[in-house]
Amino acid sequence: MYYLRLEGDHYQMGVKRGKIFNRGQMSFPLQLDEFQFKHGKQSETLLRKFFPEVCEEIRGVSDTIGVDYLHFVSWMLCMGCCMYNLEDNIPVEIRGCTAFAYEKGGRMIYGRNNDLPPYLREGSRSEIYVPENGNRFYITTSSFINGEEGLNEHGLAVAMTFVMTDFKKIEAGFNSCFIVRYLLEKAHNTESAISKLFDLPVASNCNILLADKSGRMVVVECTPSAKNIREAEKFDHDRVVCTVNSFTSDKMKLYNYANGNDYDSQKRYKVVMDSFSSGCIKDDYIEAAKQLLKGDYGFMCQYDNEPDFETVWSSIFDLKSLAIYRAEGDPRKKKFVSDHRLQDVKVK
């Protein structure tokens, strides 16, 4: 996993990243078909309308590595959206992932397993952003500039999970990973994130988990045509919300399109919720989250029989203290290590 700190002007942050790509002689699979390029161009117009700063950051990268900006940003906007269902796209895009947040004993804890093909593990990134005129935040990503999860200086956690979409229903808009980046940089708490999210055009199906240090936590189930807020469930004095790779609410189940091809999504969801309803989660909050992510309470990361699929990293955030714990690889085999970079940035 790569580590990076970026600060200041967005274009210059992009230039810094581009120089890193040049030193590493990085190349990118920018082969887009007619549908993808059209989708990317239309989505870029919307990305620029709502989040012009990130467009300048992408332009900083494309200028530095010497590729056409519009082609590059179009490729980025297709990821996690319309790469998985085009037969000529190699590799076919697949994603698992389980994310949850819970309040217990006055603590607010977030946890995640990021499940992906293993070739993405080495290129994954753990980054700190200190942008001009935006929130300071931590983001973890198998891509760059956008991300799967993160935590900002205000104690707001934002995370996505991938949900299959009917190809014909994909529309121009933000993919789920750009939603995560936008909300980390622009929102201060769950309520402001909900408000901003409901204004955004969404390109394809996804779940967005939002949780803040005050204890407000939801999952927003998103499609290009509808959004639904799913509230946390309460068990005794605990509250928990969880998201996997399908829509859980009855209202949104008609939009599920995976036909069971979602890496035991419902099994993972049930393990998380049953762990709280049964009282398995005790007072050692961080350790309990580790055990849950490691599969001690049931199936979570045990993809031993799945070829070319595994948990590539696991994360735990303490939303009040901004402490971050991360296992870089299968959490059954890799230790969780502390990451204090966001706390250090917050102090400054």
Q: What is the pLDDT of residue 90?
A: 37
Q: What is the pLDDT of residue 347?
A: 67
Q: How far is 168 from 171, CA to CA, in rounded Å? A: 8
SS (H, E, C) the chain: CEEEEEEECHHHHHHHHHHHHHHCCCCCCCCCCHHHHHHHHHHHHHHHHHCHHHHHHHHHHHHHHCCCHHHHHHHHHHCCCCCCCCCCCCCCCCCCCEEEEEEECCEEEEEEEEEECHHHCCCCEEEEEEECCCCCEEEEECCCCCCCEEEECCCEEEEEEECCCCHHHCCCCECHHHHHHHHHHHCCCHHHHHHHHHHCCECCCEEEEEEECCCCEEEEEECCCCEEEEECEEECCEEEEEECCCCCCCCCHHHCCCCCCCCCHHHHHHHHHHHHHCCCCCCCHHHHHHHHHCCCCCCCCCCCCCCCCEEEEEEEEECCCCEEEEECCCCCCCCCEEECHHHHHHHC
Q: In this structure, are residues 219 and 246 in contact, taking their beta carbons and an 8 Å threshold? A: no
Please state the pTM of the whole predicted model: 0.95
Query: Averaged in consecutive runs of 10 residues, what is the pLDDT profile of the chain (348 residues)?
Result: 96 98 91 91 98 98 98 94 53 72 93 89 93 97 96 98 90 97 98 98 97 98 98 92 96 88 88 91 85 94 86 96 96 96 85
Q: How far is 245 from 239, CA to CA, in rounded Å? A: 21
Write down all domains in the chain, each with its CATH number in brackets.
Answer: 2-78 (no CATH), 98-347 (3.60.60.10)
Q: What is the pLDDT of residue 167?
A: 83
Q: What is the pLDDT of residue 342?
A: 97
Q: What is the pLDDT of residue 280?
A: 82
